[in-house]
Amino acid sequence: MPDAKQVKTALQGYIDGWKNADREAWLALFAKDAVLIDPVGAEPNTGLEAIAAFWDRIHELPMSYEPVVHRIVACGDEGLLVFKMISRPEGGNGGMTMEIVDTFTINDDGKITQLKAYWDNGCMGMLN
- Give 115-128 pLDDT, tens digit per residue: 999 999 999 999 98
Residue 92 has pLDDT above 80, yes or no: no
Residues 6+ apart with CB under 8 A from 92: none
Average pLDDT of 74-97? 94
Residue 90 has pLDDT above 90, yes or no: no
